[in-house]
Chains A and B, each alone.
Chain A
Amino acid sequence: MMEGLGVLIWTLVKILAVLLPLLGCVAYLTLAERKVLGYMHARIGPNQVGPKGLLQPIADAVKLMFKELILPSDANKFLFVLAPVLSIAPALVAWSVIPFGDGLVLADINAGLLFLLAMTSIGVYGVIIAGWASNSKYALLGAIRSAAQIISYELAMGFCLVGVLMMSKSLNISDIVQNQAGHAGNWYWLPLFPLFITYFISGVAETNRAPFDVAEGESEIVAGFHVEYSGMGFAVFFLAEYANMILISALCAIMFLGGWYSPFPETWDYIGAGGVHWLAIKTSILLFFMIWFRASFPRYRYDQIMRLGWKILIPVTLVWIFVMGFAIAINKSPALEMTVLAILFIVGLISVIISPKGKFGIANRHYANHSTATVEQEQGK
């Protein structure tokens, strides 16, 4: 009895040890995003609350907590309140299987990868229910868009993870990382290069971030699925979005960038040793990319997102998995073969991009079809 209680308390302490820093990271990710966006936009970003604006997330949280919760008329009360919970819970639960270091994991389960896939796909229910329960046309449109988008990109994401699975031959996430032990050359990003890129793009789409943010596209459907939420309801959706961003970045770092391992050879002093800080650094870099995308890209249209997902990303992943299947049939651990193929793939990609004649080349300026012929008319005509 006492022992059971001890285990329970110990587990709770462990959960808090994961959750509290995570929520802190989420809060400060919002600040980091605003700051980075600000500097990219030739402005400063928040700098008034606390030294250099460092207390801004706390001020935001306090403000949102004391705001009135508004229930739209004819909204389904139960589902309306349930939706934010459904949205944030999976985003936090998924962290239970993330290994932060060697053995540093809340639940070292063997089906970790499947657990992750299950959890990240539950998040969409929060969005759909929020959109439906709000009794608003804008919210409903956002929910439909979001549902279609997340389900499509989930497929591409799943296929990417299949590639990881084939390489590591394990569903246990700690094992996946340990299979990448060593410097950057041993990580999966190189042999699985197309999957790595696809996974990150799908991840950005999965979290409804720009340029795939049609679910909340502020200039089209205002805020999409959470347009009717205020105060804490909105805050929870907000937290869920940022928690998901961190989750996707961390997963990308774990699956393709060697998790907690250092990019340098282990024989190097200090910087060669693995640790949580490497995971944090890799995650932060990926997060920075997400913010960078938001600062610079226009938004895709809803049907264009679908086209990208189904016609480009899924075929790319399928082909790579197929190729890998052949490689495995020939050689049990095909890391070297796949690396060579990936390098060929990268070289091919670059040559297509810089080729002057190709359809997709950067040299193929759109001016060719849409030239603005500058016409000078005779005066006084």
Chain B
Amino acid sequence: MPEIKNYSINFGPQHPAAHGVLRLILEMDGEVIEKADPHIGLLHRGTEKLAESKPYNQSIGYMDRLDYVSMMSNEHGYVLAIEKLLGIAPPKRAQYIRVLFDELTRIRNHLMWIGAHALDCGAMAVFLYAFREREELMDMYEAVSGARMHATYYRPGGVYRDLPEKMPQYDKSKYRSKSRLKKINKNRQGGLLDFIEDFAIRFPGLIDEYETLLTDNRIWKQRTVGIGVVDADRAKALGFTGPMLRGSGVAWDLRKTQPYEVYDELDFQIPVGKSGDCYDRYLVRVNEMRESTKIIRQCIDWLRQNPGPVMVEDHKIAPPSRVDMKESMEAMIHHFKLFSEGYTVPEGEAYAAIEHPKGEFGVYMISDGANKPFRVKIRPPGFVHLSAMDEMSKGHMLADVVALIGTMDVVFGEIDR
């Protein structure tokens, strides 16, 4: 008689639901998962090591590429750690801009997540609707930094530049009719803030669209309710952060518990789930998008009323303006030193963490007093979540593994680093 045994299946790294390069070795009894063994490292680019060999500012770009769907949030963690070591604080306006873009990034991340999660569970439309809005968020990135994805916009001591007064518009083209051109340029007549405000006003209605397709959908609920349940204590023990932790009913959000930048001046709430399953995490994230919209509108109001500098005046850290460089020798020297040697950071160590869209994103940095960090350690939220894969998927079916990958919102840039 032949021996009956479980068989293993190689889920990824080339798999449409692997969210990049996840390789899961699944041991299965028919369709039921007995063991899930995530293998990581296929996207390892040595970010931490690379940062050791470059002046501080030159590594900001690497941080964008960690979690490549929420770029500015990664920069924020890194920049905060440097600022902590330097003992400086950016001007208020820069802090508001950072919060504004953190929340835009949160929406951008959650849009990617809701699309991918729904697509993993078979609902195609949400993905494309989410990307429609994501396009506008990319335009905001582009308007403010020149890059649609990897912005490198946050700098120690502030942000790279102030928000543009004029939003770039679409050009005439033979593929676009005049009326179409007028329509797509309609919300680009003013500055970037007007563009963002227009988005923030429309966005809650667009969230309703996604919710119409998913929230009360019986199939969606069957696919997510009771899947991957993690209770509050277990979630804490596993080191969950962000929506994964809040979905289990723990009201822990660094924006509230350890407010950084200007979060303590803003009015917002943190959604918390009850049962800790995929459906609750879905509701938490959807409500987070609504809260983010609220924060964005508060930031817009403040930024409209309070013009001012967006970078510290200390030219040992922040470059002087280009106009000054044409006339002032000192400014010229500052610029040259800053862009060749960088700045030195006093000896010491610091840990700075922010509430990244996926959870707690922390950077632990040791400086030996040189112009390069001695060591940078990145604490990515996704890594911790992924390590709970085995526990969460045990006893579920193959299709649930896909839903779990979706609900964890894993991105391999940050997990493999």
Interface residues of A (CB under 8 A from B): 37, 40-43, 137-138, 141, 145, 210-211, 213-214, 217-222, 294-304, 362, 365-367, 369-377, 379-381
Interface residues of B (CB under 8 A from A): 7, 9-10, 15-17, 31, 118-125, 128-129, 132, 213-217, 219-223, 225, 251, 253, 256-259, 264, 269-275, 277, 279-280, 283-284, 287, 397-400, 402
Question: Once bound together, how far apart are the Cα atoms of A218 and B122, in whole Å?
Answer: 8
Given the complex, which residues of A lie within 8 Å of B259, measured CB to CB? 379-380
Given the complex, which residues of A lie within 8 Å of B280, measured CB to CB? 370, 372
Given the complex, which residues of B lie within 8 Å of A362, measured CB to CB? 216
Name B221's contact: one of A217, A302, A366 (CB within 8 Å).
A366
CB pair A297 B402 closer than 8 Å = no
CB pair B264 A296 closer than 8 Å = no
CB pair B222 A304 closer than 8 Å = yes
CB pair A373 B287 closer than 8 Å = no
CB pair A301 B269 closer than 8 Å = no
Name B275's contact: one of A294, A304, A365, A370 (CB within 8 Å).
A370
Given the complex, which residues of B lie within 8 Å of A42, measured CB to CB? 128-129, 132
The 3 tightest CB contacts between A and B, nearest first, are A299-B122, A41-B128, A298-B123
Question: Which partner residue on chain B sits nearest A214 by CB separation?
Answer: B399
Question: Which partner residue on chain A sits nearest B285 by CB separation?
Answer: A372
Question: Once bound together, how far apart are the Cα atoms of A41 and B119, in whole Å?
Answer: 13
Question: Once bound together, how far apart are the Cα atoms of A377 and B120, in whole Å?
Answer: 34
What would 13 more interface pairs be, CB under 8 Å, given A219-B16, A302-B31, A372-B284?
A210-B122, A211-B122, A213-B122, A218-B16, A220-B17, A295-B124, A297-B122, A299-B223, A300-B122, A301-B399, A370-B273, A372-B271, A372-B273
The SS class assigned to the A binding surface is: loop
A375 to chain B, nearest CB (A): 4
Question: Which partner residue on chain A sits nearest B286 by CB separation?
Answer: A372
CB pair B271 A374 closer than 8 Å = yes
Question: Which partner residue on chain A sits nearest B219 by CB separation?
Answer: A298
CB pair B123 A297 closer than 8 Å = yes
Name B287's contact: one of A211, A222, A294, A374 (CB within 8 Å).
A374
CB pair B399 A299 closer than 8 Å = yes
CB pair A41 B271 closer than 8 Å = no
Question: Once bound together, how far apart are the Cα atoms of A63 and B121, in whole Å?
Answer: 30
CB pair B215 A377 closer than 8 Å = no
Question: Once bound together, how far apart are the Cα atoms of A375 and B264, in whole Å?
Answer: 15
Question: Once bound together, how far apart are the Cα atoms of A187 and B121, in whole Å?
Answer: 37
CB pair B220 A298 closer than 8 Å = yes
Question: Once bound together, how far apart are the Cα atoms of A304 and B224, in whole Å?
Answer: 12
Name B122's contact: one of A217, A377, A380 (CB within 8 Å).
A217
CB pair A301 B397 closer than 8 Å = yes
Question: Once bound together, how far apart are the Cα atoms of A33 and B33, in whole Å?
Answer: 35
B7 to chain A, nearest CB (A): 7
CB pair A41 B283 closer than 8 Å = no
Question: Which partner residue on chain A sits nearest B400 by CB separation?
Answer: A301
Name B9's contact: one of A137, A297, A300, A366 (CB within 8 Å).
A137
Given the complex, which residues of B lie within 8 Å of A211, measured CB to CB? 122, 219
CB pair A366 B279 closer than 8 Å = yes
Question: Once bound together, how far apart are the Cα atoms of A41 and B283, in whole Å?
Answer: 23
CB pair B251 A298 closer than 8 Å = no
Question: Which partner residue on chain A sits nearest B7 by CB separation?
Answer: A137
CB pair A298 B122 closer than 8 Å = yes
Question: Once bound together, how far apart are the Cα atoms of A321 and B199, in whole Å?
Answer: 55
With A298-B223, A299-B121, A301-B223 known as contacts, the answer to whether A374 contacts B283 (CB < 8 A) is no
Name A376's contact: one of B120, B269, B274, B400 (CB within 8 Å).
B269
A136 to chain B, nearest CB (A): 10
Name B270's contact: one of A218, A295, A377 (CB within 8 Å).
A377
Name A377's contact: one of B257, B277, B402 (CB within 8 Å).
B257
CB pair B283 A372 closer than 8 Å = yes
B286 to chain A, nearest CB (A): 9
CB pair A379 B279 closer than 8 Å = no
Question: Once bound together, how far apart are the Cα atoms of A28 and B166, in whole Å?
Answer: 47
Name A297's contact: one of B219, B264, B269 (CB within 8 Å).
B219
With A41-B125, A138-B9, A297-B217 known as contacts, the answer to whether A302 contacts B269 (CB < 8 A) is no
With A141-B398, A214-B399 known as contacts, the answer to whether A300 contacts B222 (CB < 8 A) is yes
Given the complex, which residues of A lie within 8 Å of B279, measured CB to CB? 366, 370
Question: Once bound together, how far apart are the Cα atoms of A141 and B30, in whole Å?
Answer: 8
Name A375's contact: one of B118, B129, B251 (CB within 8 Å).
B251
Q: Give me 14 A-to-B residue pairs in the complex whose CB atoms sit less than 8 angstroms apart, sorted by A's number.
A: A40-B125, A41-B124, A141-B398, A210-B122, A214-B399, A297-B217, A299-B219, A300-B122, A301-B397, A302-B397, A302-B398, A370-B225, A375-B272, A376-B269
Given the complex, which residues of B lie within 8 Å of A365, measured CB to CB? 216
Question: Once bound together, how far apart are the Cα atoms of A362 and B212, in whole Å?
Answer: 12
Question: Once bound together, how far apart are the Cα atoms of A366 and B273, in whole Å?
Answer: 13
A306 to chain B, nearest CB (A): 11
Question: Once bound together, how far apart are the Cα atoms of A316 and B124, in whole Å?
Answer: 30
Given the complex, which residues of B lie within 8 Å of A214, measured CB to CB? 399
Question: Once bound together, how far apart are the Cα atoms of A218 and B270, in whole Å?
Answer: 35
Given the complex, which residues of B lie within 8 Å of A41, measured CB to CB? 124-125, 128-129
Name A370's contact: one of B222, B264, B274, B400 (CB within 8 Å).
B274
CB pair B129 A376 closer than 8 Å = no
